[in-house]
Structure 1
Amino acid sequence: MSGLFVAVGDSFTEGVGDPNLHYPNQVRGWADRFARQLGRADPTWRYANLAIRSKFLDQVVTDQLEPALALRPTHVSFSAGGNDLLALRADVDGIAERYEQALLRLVVSGAHVIVFTTFVPRATGLLKPLVRRVGACNDAIRDLATTHDVTLIDHDAMREFDDKGLWALDRIHMSRPGHKRMAAVVAETLDVPHTLKLRDLVPPDAPGWRHALRTEAEFIRDEVVPLVRRRLRGEYEGDTTRPKWPEPIHPRDGMKRLAAEQAAVERRLRAWGEVLERV
């Protein structure tokens, strides 16, 4: 099996939570890790990643779907709508309808389509409304995956992700071990051999109630409140972020080297732009 894998979506697919200075946007993520395994299995595999953090469903559809389809992928992953669910008000039925419209455009292209549910963490009382939204949206995605015969990665069913070590401090994005585990799940689901080594998950000692209360208070103060404030101000990291791999690459060529070459080209272009401005 070989072809072109194109990843479409938001921060989940861009790789936020898996920092790596040697990769574009300084993150790696499950899609890059999975693409590397594709390249190991067959050097003719190509890969593009158009995902950008903080993008809403409609933005993903408008900015990424047509460029993705123009590449004529044999395989395409689609994960979007999570940021819509984080809004103060969210129409889950409307999100599901627009999600299905996007999914149909991918399905009729003939590509092998991969979709994901969103993991629902054990939540505090403050986050229970969000959990209900995500659960309803996940149910819709499961139904759509069955209806349109696409591959479903049911992240929410993977209760090993209750392990806090698989999550970044914000509890929204997977950590490096979480992204690696997701890459392995995708590879195994698609019958792609992989060499990913996953650490054993060891249940942590149960913290005392004082520690748990303090941890929750710090999480609300340091992560939830700043997120809400940014959303109220209309500030999104994705507004100044570009796709990591907008043009197909061969992962077998070495993604760190390809990223360095890409960065060198961008530096030369900026230098030429500065020269032209002075002329």
Structure 2
Amino acid sequence: MFTSYIAIGDSFTEGVGDELPDGRTRGWADFVALGLAQAATANGDAGSVRYANLAIRGRKLGPLIAEQLPPAVDQRPELISLNGGGNDIMRPRVSIEAVAQQLVDAARTVTDAGIHLLLLSGANPSLHLPMGSLMRRRGNELDAAVRVHLPLDDVTYVDNWADERLWDIRYWSQDRLHLNPLGHARVASNVLTAFGVPVPAEWGVEEVAAGPASATSRRTADYYRRYVLPWVGRRLTGRSSGDGRTAKIAELTVVDPTAMPPL
């Protein structure tokens, strides 16, 4: 089991959509760190798991890798997770093959450093978004383009894009682009399961999955005003939701297995 873990990525990995009462984001990577810490404690190794999260929302894959991968590798964790490309495939033009190759090249950089890589796809929001069919097609193409290169030594791949449970609106925040706390917990359960680490029962992942699916809600004028128009405005002006932001946990820090707020 891994005792040091650094997450790099964009809003998906930062935890956008899972905001705590004090304004901090939590998200699936925090849940994974918690699951690792709780498993270590159960094995008599309390306080042995350290975690950092360098992810910043809005980052396209090239800047993400350039900014976040070197400091992550320099800290020499046992595990690095990488998700990216979601912001690339929402642009008017994108080379899917180039995005996939960037992910594979980054994976090799990590494994060549003797670090295990968790490579994971984001969840699929396309059923709930304007022009969702385009995003779905590109996401499917990216998923397939990455899989061509797998398996890779010392790389664990978790395919959240293909997790049909995550398509349900119950797992999505009000902007329909980012997961809510339940969605982030499900992604974390996918990751922990891939590593053979128990998923804490108090997360309620299985109970939620067993419940009936929700109907897709309508997109209202208020939805477009609050979420779509600001996104378009940032694209037109060359701004990003991550401008001026820094990593929420820049250095490896001991995880307290009892400190995570409940869902």
From 71, 93, 97, the equivalent of 1:93 is 97
Q: Give the counterpart of 2:172 among 159, 167, 171.
A: 167
In structure 2, relative to structure 1, the CA distance for the partners of 1:177 and 1:124 (3 Å cut) is closer
Q: Once the 2 structures are TM-superposed, how far is the Cα of residue 226 of structure 1 from its aligned partner?
A: 2.6
Verify: 1:203 aligned to 2:243, yes or no. Answer: no
Q: After the TM superposition, which of the residue ranges 13-22 and 146-155 deviates more from structure 2?
A: 146-155
How far the C-alpha of 1:228 sits from its partner, in A, is 1.8
Tell me the CA shift for residue 114 of structure 1: 0.8
- Residue number in structure 2 paired with 1:273: none
Amino acid at match of 1:90: V
1:242 equivalent among 223, 237, 246: 246
Query: How many residue pairs align between the two structures?
Result: 250
1:70 is matched with 74
Q: Which digits, 9 at most, give the CA deviation of each residue in 1:25-69, with x for residues without a partner?
A: 611011111111211222311111111111111111111111000
**Which segments of 5 or more consecutive residues in structure 2 lack a partner in the other structure?**
41-45
Question: Which of residues 92, 106, 111 is equivalent to 2:110?
Answer: 106
Helix, strand or coil at the partner of 2:65: helix
Larger Rg: 1
Is the Cα–Cα contact under 8 Å of residues 117 and 141 in structure 1 kept in the other structure?
Answer: no
Deviation of 1:181 after TM superposition, in Å, equals 1.3
Task: Indicate the SS of the match to 2:204.
Answer: coil
- Of the three residues 18, 30, 33, the one matched with 1:35 is 33
Q: Which has the higher helix share?
A: 1
Residues in 2 aligned to 1:76 and 1:83: alpha-carbon distance in whole angstroms:
20
Q: Deviation per CA, 1:114-137, whole angstroms, max 9, x where unpaired?
A: 111233332667332222111111
- Within 5 A, what are the aligned runs for 1:3-152? 3-22=3-22, 26-42=24-40, 43=46, 44-120=48-124, 121-122=126-127, 126-148=131-153, 150-152=155-157
Letter in 1 for 2:33: A
Which is worse superposed, 63-72 or 124-133? 124-133
CA contact (8 A) 1:115 1:145 kept: no
What TM-score comes out, normalization by structure 2 length?
0.86
* Partner Cα separation in structure 2 for residue 119 and residue 253 of structure 1: 26
Instruction: Decide whether the 8 Å contact of 1:49 with 1:244 is kept in 2.
Output: yes
Q: 1:112, CA displacement in angstroms?
A: 1.5
**Alpha-carbon separation, structure 1, partners of 2:212 and 2:187:** 19
CA distance in 1, matches of 2:101, 2:179: 27
Separation (CA, whole Å) in 1 of partners of 2:150 and 2:177:
23
Aligned AA for 1:103?
A: A
Cα separation, 2, equivalents of 1:77 and 1:83: 17
